[in-house]
Amino acid sequence: MTAAYKTPLEVSSTQPSIAGEINASVIWLHGLGADGHDFEAIVQKMNLPHVRFILPHAPEMAVTRNSGYIMPAWYDLYGVTGSSQEDEAGIKTSQTYINALIQKEIDRGIPANRIVLAGFSQGGAIALYSALRYPIKLAGILALSTYLPIKTKLMAEANPANATTPIFMAHGIYDDVIGLDLCKISLAVLQSNHLAVDWHEYNMAHSVCAEEIVDIRNFLQQILQQDLVE
């Protein structure tokens, strides 16, 4: 399975003098049709000392919603409505890969509770799915412009280890790819399961904005207790 995955990018502080010893990791998953380079510039600008950003690349696959066109995807996509069929097998395959990336960071000396799972759009769906089922407590979850996949199984499959893990969830009010209403259904499911969601809305479409990046940086600084570097 892992042969289909390219080696992830790794990014740390752009200022070597403040990079210091790495003591935390953020695994950040891109959206459908993109790759690990998509958020490279953003994480470089954050200048969080001692943090390693892991930016994996999704494997190439045929995507049903896009007429079978082959593109980087974390799972097959049939639609983005609340009633759309979901590729549970593909989602679980990505979960297995993400778990392996987490284990690699643990093997490098980063405790699980110093590891954040982050993702945008389809990558955010995998971050939510994987983190909430992970058997060891993680530092936090970033769910950007995304939704909760396989909602009906969350209550049965969520691991108590991450029942109190902070979730930063953000969405654009003009998003016409994953509608705000669909995202709020996911939010309601998370909240009904008593999960700690820090909800944000921004005046943007299916994208990331400057205000959001500042909020993400502050969230990461808070949960990782890192000093910000300007």
What is the sign of the dihedral through the CA atoms of 33, 221, 175 and 187? positive
Distance CA 83, CA 207 (A): 24
The residue ranges of DSSP E strands in the chain, in sequence order, are: 9-11, 24-29, 51-55, 60-63, 69-72, 115-120, 140-144, 167-172, 197-202
Q: Which residue has the tokens 């969405």?
A: 171
Cα distance between residue 220 and residue 25, in whole Å: 10
Task: Calculate the CA 81 to chain-centre distance.
Answer: 20
Sequence-distant (6+) residues with CB within 8 A of 167 are: 128, 140, 141, 143, 190, 195, 196, 197, 198
From the list 110, 118, 143, the residue with the least C-alpha distance to 25 is: 110
Say if CB 71 and CB 32 are below 8 A apart. Answer: yes
Catalytically active residues are 121, 175, 206
